[in-house]
Chain A
């Protein structure tokens, strides 16, 4: 069974540009989460989808970040316009409904904003 996949693995963009990150969860997992780790700090929660609905987006830093999950399968996280402080590693995770507490993470996308 394929794990959580993320694309791209690494992205380098200039300040002010737009970047879209993609996450494909494990097949059959209704729950999809985005997290990020900035500057070697702790990994912080961004948001949680249940199928195509946003269950919790309390961790989204500001309105430059837009997450979508059309059709309840893969998800995209768009940053527009990117700022220097957005640099970091963006992780996606997924879990089943039962047990919901087992979150499986992807390899992450390293975003560098110059």
Chain B
């Protein structure tokens, strides 16, 4: 079945790089996403990658996709205290009749000053 797994917690120091990992099971996924949820706020679409890509870079964010191992990672360079949030990995399949996203449980990123 469809399943997305993430580690629950990551703690880093301000200025360091953060790497949040995710594994998924649905090989038909066409898009893979990272959403960010700050305390008391909704889900913010951070970035996404099409399944035929290996890497996508957007300013401090780097997404790496290993389709063979079904592994997705989000690297945040020069992590700031404002990056403290829950990060959700999600997969989406837009080839069929449904456009739903399958989410992981989220990784809480705590940035220590």
Are A and B co-members of a single complex? Answer: yes
Binding site for B on A (CB under 8 A): 4, 31, 33, 35, 40-45, 48, 55-56, 58-59, 91, 93, 95, 100-108
Residues of B that sit less than 8 Å from A by CB: 4, 30-31, 35, 41-45, 48, 88, 90, 92, 94, 97-106
Asked if residues A100 and B103 are in contact (CB atoms below 8 Å), the reply is no
Contact A91–B99 (Cβ < 8 Å):
no
Given known A-B contacts A107-B41, A108-B42, A55 and B97 have beta carbons under 8 A apart: yes
A56 in contact with B105 given A105-B35, A105-B45 (CB within 8 Å): no
* Inter-chain residue pair count (beta carbon < 8 A): 66
Q: Which residue of B94, B98, B101 is within 8 Å of A55 (Cβ)?
A: B98
* Residues of the B chain whose Cβ atoms lie less than 8 Å from the Cβ of A100: 94, 99
Which one, B42, B92, B106, contacts A106 given CB within 8 A?
A: B42
Shortest CB distance A30–B (Å)? 11
Known: A43-B101, A56-B100, A93-B43. 8 other contacts (CB 8 A): A4-B42, A31-B99, A33-B100, A44-B103, A91-B43, A101-B99, A105-B35, A105-B45
